[in-house]
Amino acid sequence: MLLTLSPTPVPTLASAGSPNFIWLHQRRYLEGAQAIAQALFDALDDDLNPYVQLLGLPLDPEAGKPVCQEPAASSLPAEAFAGLVAEGLSCPATGVPPAALLPALADMSPAFLRQRYENRSIRALVQRTLDELDEGEPHQHFAGWPARIDGYLVFTVLRVQRKALRSYPSLQPNRFYIDGKPLATSLVVGAMYRFNEECSKSLNEPEPGAGFLFRPRETEELLRAAGKSLLDTPAHALGADPSTAQLFFTLNTISSLRYEGAEGIGRMLLARRGHPNVEEVFALTCPTELSDYRAVRKLLEMTSHDVHLLADGEKVYALGRQVGHYDHTREDLFDIHFVTHYAWEFSHAGQVLLRSRYGLPTLPRPRLNKLRFKRDLKRTFDLHHTDKITHLWEVVLEASKQPKGTLLVITTEALAEADRLKLQCTLIEPVPLTPLITQLITSIDGAVLLDPEGYCYSIGVILDGKASGHGTSTRGARYNSAVRYVESSPYPCLVVVVSEDGMVDVLTKENLAESRQ
């Protein structure tokens, strides 16, 4: 899983003997950390554009050692971090844990506790400095948990684009696990926490970075861990134990079950019993544990567009509805929408914070991104004519509304492909697609074949193509047949896959190649 560092020019890296060199494997560590960050955050939103740096602060302010950075030509001014270690070590609160954490820290030695709170204090100062440096900049830096290496306190610093980061809703900060770790406020923040954990584990190994490239967790595993982090937040808000509730795993399991062959569709409200904005229609004499997945799935059959299951994070206690005006600053009423089989959404105050499909969480991105679609058209067909791009966008937008899902195949050789596949499609007289025609022809099974001019040549097409091994078992036959067709086609082509659960994928040879890097 070795990726390029960044689309920015490759900076100078520190080498042994240089003033920015701290330990033997720091370059290897940085490359591994960048690879993990690139794969993880690109899977969420490639506009985040993650970039990883190392910041080393000398632990002994009197030793005369310089502030070290990797890459050596960093955009962060080293002088801004001078003196932070001395300030952090002199903090009177250093080493004094909050009373609520004492039970969890009882088995830790005083020396370990003091070092832990020294690190936390210095990290807070580093983050404050980064925030000050980022004022007015298009990006934002985040300092990970530091490690002590060869007389330095080494931080992994992650930089992401501010606009992409702030384009998604989040919950309020300042909620914590019993051990003092912060709870995630969004899926992106949860991913940052998981990334920091990976970096912290590697930095605290005997040879930091030596095995980093060979033992990283898979991107999907990190995404699932990020989803778990986010769903721990509503459990905590409702007074449940996040480690016991395991809401992310529980909701995935419930959504995966069928009842008498039917997929689970409905809603669940997470709120404490007696919440002022929840009205019970009828209560269960014996509340059902959320971990009794099949029983909860059966109860879900009784829900409607208005009446939902009511759960407190651990048990379903009634069926009811949301009433009145909810004060969203309370953050104690959450909505779970079971969209279709193995797909659900987590929302608060009408804003979707997470979508999960086949156990993999994603951000609530728009179903279609117009700028990316235009980019794909230009890259695939060298299409720059504004009217043609707008026409195709309107066609795709209409097709994306098809509730049963559909396939649009745009290819330069649409006429020839219609003739080649005439025994497994319905040929029609070439017609320029309009929203109305698109609505009609996408209502039947099979793909719609059109050219970059927007003319349709056949409908109900059964696509062919050689199996390349690049499909995915977590997606259906429609998506995987589109992958086979795109990879096998000798002609420039772009396929829009509209799934029944509302997902929309735009597939080109370039997009598929990039997703495998």
Query: In this predicted model, what pLDDT tens digit does every residue of 124-175 receive, in sequence order?
Result: 999 999 999 999 999 999 999 999 999 999 999 999 999 999 999 999 998 8
pTM of the model as a whole? 0.76
Mean pLDDT of all residues belonging to the chain: 87
Spatial separation of the C-alpha atoms in residues 22 and 425, rounded to whole Å:
64
Kindly report, residue by residue over 418-436, the tens digit of the pLDDT.
Answer: 999 999 999 999 999 999 9
pLDDT at 3: 40
* Contact (Cβ atoms closer than 8 angstroms) between residue 57 and residue 89: no
| Dihedrals phi, psi of 234, to nearest 5 degrees | -65, -35
Q: Provide the residue count of the chain.
A: 517
SS3 508: coil
* Contact (Cβ atoms closer than 8 angstroms) between residue 355 and residue 300: no
242-362 and 370-515: identical CATH topology: yes
Q: Which among 401, 409, 425, 408 has a CA at the least distance from the CA of 500?
A: 401
* Contact (Cβ atoms closer than 8 angstroms) between residue 146 and residue 155: yes
H runs (alpha helix) in 360-490: 370-381, 386-399, 414-420, 435-441, 477-488
pLDDT tier for residue 199 given thresholds of 50, 70 and 90: very high
- Both tokens of 54, joined, read 């190392």
* Contact (Cβ atoms closer than 8 angstroms) between residue 139 and residue 160: yes
Spatial separation of the C-alpha atoms in residues 48 and 408, rounded to whole Å:
29
pLDDT at 97: 46
pLDDT tier for residue 471 given thresholds of 50, 70 and 90: low
Find the Cα–Cα–Cα–Cα dihedral 59, 62, 65, 68, rounded to 10°: 40
pLDDT at 308: 97
pLDDT at 2: 38
For 1-5, 81-85, 320-324, 418-422, which range has the lowest pLDDT when averaged over its residues?
1-5
Pick the CATH number of 242-362 from 3.40.47, 3.40.1700, 1.10.357, 3.40.30: 3.40.1700
**What percent of the chain lies above the pLDDT cut of 70?**
89
Statement: residue 365 has pLDDT above 80: no
pLDDT at 212: 58
Q: Phi/psi class of residue 389: alpha, beta or left (left: φ > 0; alpha: ψ in -120 to 50)? A: alpha
Q: Which among 258, 150, 202, 178 has a CA at the least distance from the CA of 35?
A: 202
Which CATH architecture does the domain made up of 370-515 adopt? 3-Layer(aba) Sandwich (3.40)
pLDDT at 29: 93
Q: Which among 503, 507, 510 has a CA at the least distance from the CA of 476?
A: 503
Establish whether the linkage from the previous residue to 58 is cis, with ω within 30° of 0. no
Domains in the chain: boundaries:
26-217, 242-362, 370-515
